[in-house]
Structure 1
Amino acid sequence: MMILCLAISLPGREKLMQPLSVTAYLAGSIALARPSDISLDGLLAYQVLRRHMGNDFYTHADGREVLCFARLPLEMRGEIPEAVSKLQTGDVWMNPRQGIIDQSFWYWSCSSAQTVVAARQTQYWNKRFDTHPALSNHVDFGGRVEKVIIENGRYKAYHMPLSTLITDKIVWYAYGNLEEIRTLLTPITAIGKKRSYGNGMVMRWSVEPMEEDWSEWKEQELMRPLPGATALHWATRGAFDLEHRAFRAPQWHPANQAMCLSKGRRDAVSCV
């Protein structure tokens, strides 16, 4: 398969692209296992598809069966197939039943989440069917002798741990269109898990221009997972970690996960 390697953006957008810092100011805590699990391209892709599809967004086919493309206001980088470079928002991107899978190693120009964690704590969420005897009159088994199973199935009882991080902000670095990114992020009021519990509440967003592009490297330090030939190039020179990681949105899709350069510094390589 021939791969076209270039950085690409939509016509007319390229001149509007610039280095950016994107900050979510939080109310105090966010429910995450790892600080880097919140991806900027994932948040933007959700917003782009929701705006494009309207109410159909909530009834669309499962993404594991038919995955639609989201054209983000970020630069595309890496090993980009020509067919992918021409996709527009709403186009079918992957459809395993028809053999359409994007196994290339391109990615959006944004860093992993940069978070200063002040503290960590474990909360618990519970789900339990109320078995109080006084409520038995409200359960109608139609005259049959039955019981509610709470060991498994629909009414299974849960006592589940929830990892939370205490922090006042999350920062990403990106190369993209400032106004479009700001417009997409402003309506997002909470991020992370268990948002209905009050976790991950966003008080405000800040999208500001920068002098340097830190979406991939900041002062020689790697800022995001890098897949494909780029990862191989630096991994063979040492001083870098390799992990199986997601490298583009949606991060849950297996085709968007691969062995990636995950941590290290360019000035620590053993040879050039």
Structure 2
Amino acid sequence: MSGPMVPLRVRAHLATGIAQTSPWGIALDGLLASQLWEEHKASCRANGRPYTRALDRDDPPDLDLPLARCQPDGAPWHWAATCAWPENPGRLDVHTWTGRVDARELEQVATALPLTVSGRQGRYRARRMPLLVTPCTSVIWHAVGDVDRITELLDDVVSIGKKRATGEGHVLRWEVTPAPDLDATTAGHLHPDGTLGRTVPDSCHQVASPTGDGGRGRAGIRPPYMHPDRQHQLRLPALLGS
């Protein structure tokens, strides 16, 4: 059960920066939902119960996040929380990741193999891909929620963003503090610079009055963001670096 819902700031102090592929940062509600979903899966496994992935359900459940809800009239509701905003970011850095098929492993899992497995073409070709990394000491979110419960969920998150297994996005510590200087509308919708901080319907955009946004397009309104049931025509967050 969640405690009192207050405007707050969430800050992740990072070792070197964060790797992100979308034009805006990681959604706080998505991060919290992933933690609750991990707890649910662990409980199912411990009790021998099957579970179905949220993306595989026709009508995915809305988890009980420790966040307030913004419920505009005639539009889909969303959680009162923004996407990550890098604080004092440096110049965008381009890292590289590589991938190559292990031929010996293929021999162990396949019943038959061709004479050669090309590393230059086809589905098993070697890959060398760029990874955009934003150097920064921290990223910040605004939200309206339960400080204690959010802190409890985030304490187990040791890295965020892309390529976490290779050391990107390592979190040194989390800081969740009340923000009495923010009203609920600002905390639930806007970045620190006043630009739009999350996907919202037009009615929320009019109320929040951001100083800038990322335009209009089809996107998810709340977790699971990639599910078709969550996709709507929405106002998009301000682009990173804009």
TM-score tier after normalising by the smaller chain length: 0.7 to 0.9
- Which piece of structure 1 moves more, 217-226 or 21-30? 217-226
- Aligned ranges 1:98-177 → 2 under 5 Å: 105-116=76-87, 117-129=89-101, 146-150=115-119, 151-153=121-123, 155-177=124-146
Counterpart residue number, 2:61 = 68
Percent identity between matched residues is 28
TM-score with structure 2 setting the length: 0.76
Q: Is the 8 A contact 2:198 2:236 kept in 1?
A: yes
Higher normalized strand content (fraction of residues): 1
Counterpart residue number, 2:222 = 248
TM-score with structure 1 setting the length: 0.68
Tell me, in whole angstroms, the C-alpha distance in 1 between the residues paired with 2:194 and 2:167. Answer: 37
Tell me, in whole angstroms, the C-alpha distance in 2 between the residues paired with 1:143 and 1:216. Answer: 55
Counterpart residue number, 2:160 = 191
Shift of 1:63: 2.9
Larger of the two Rg values belongs to structure: 1
Shift of 1:65: 2.0
Match of 1:41 among 19, 29, 34: 29
Shift of 1:165: 0.9
Tell me, in whole angstroms, the C-alpha distance in 1 between the residues paired with 2:220 and 2:113. Answer: 51
The answer to which structure, 1 or 2, has the higher relative contact order (CA under 8 A, 6+ apart) is: 2
Deviations 1:106-129 (A, max 9, x none): 100012222132121111111124
Which runs of 5 or more structure 1 residues have no equivalent in the other structure? 1-11, 82-103, 265-272
Counterpart residue number, 1:88 = none
Taking a change above 3 Å as real, the CA distance of residues 156 and 253 of structure 1, as seen in their structure-2 partners, is: same
Taking a change above 3 Å as real, the CA distance of residues 185 and 130 of structure 1, as seen in their structure-2 partners, is: closer
Tell me, in whole angstroms, the C-alpha distance in 2 between the residues paired with 1:57 and 1:45. Answer: 18
Q: Which residue identity is paired with 2:10?
A: V
Partner-residue secondary structure (3-state), 2:215: strand
Tell me, in whole angstroms, the C-alpha distance in 2 between the residues paired with 1:28 and 1:199. Answer: 8
Taking a change above 3 Å as real, the CA distance of residues 239 and 122 of structure 1, as seen in their structure-2 partners, is: closer
Deviations 1:55-105 (A, max 9, x none): 547973343321333110001112489xxxxxxxxxxxxxxxxxxxxxx61
Deviations 1:176-208 (A, max 9, x none): 111100000011000001011110000000000
Q: Is the 8 A contact 1:242 1:259 kept in 2?
A: no
Tell me, in whole angstroms, the C-alpha distance in 2 between the residues paired with 1:164 and 1:184. Answer: 25
Q: Is the 8 A contact 2:27 2:198 kept in 1?
A: no
Tell me, in whole angstroms, the C-alpha distance in 2 between the residues paired with 1:19 and 1:254. Answer: 30
Q: Which residue identity is paired with 2:189?
A: E
Tell me, in whole angstroms, the C-alpha distance in 2 between the residues paired with 1:112 and 1:63. Answer: 21
Q: Is the 8 A contact 1:112 1:224 kept in 2?
A: yes
Tell me, in whole angstroms, the C-alpha distance in 2 between the residues paired with 1:139 and 1:263. Answer: 47
Deviations 1:200-240 (A, max 9, x none): 00000000011123222468653332215434x579xx986
Q: Is the 8 A contact 1:121 1:163 kept in 2?
A: yes
Match of 2:232 among 258, 263, 269: 258
Tell me, in whole angstroms, the C-alpha distance in 1 between the residues paired with 2:193 and 2:17. Answer: 29
Tell me, in whole angstroms, the C-alpha distance in 2 between the residues paired with 1:39 and 1:177. Answer: 17
Tell me, in whole angstroms, the C-alpha distance in 1 between the residues paired with 2:113 and 2:73. Answer: 63
Q: Is the 8 A contact 1:105 1:228 kept in 2?
A: no
Which runs of 5 or more structure 2 residues have no equivalent in the other structure? none
Runs of 4+ in 1 over 4 A off after TM superposition: 138-145, 217-221, 238-241
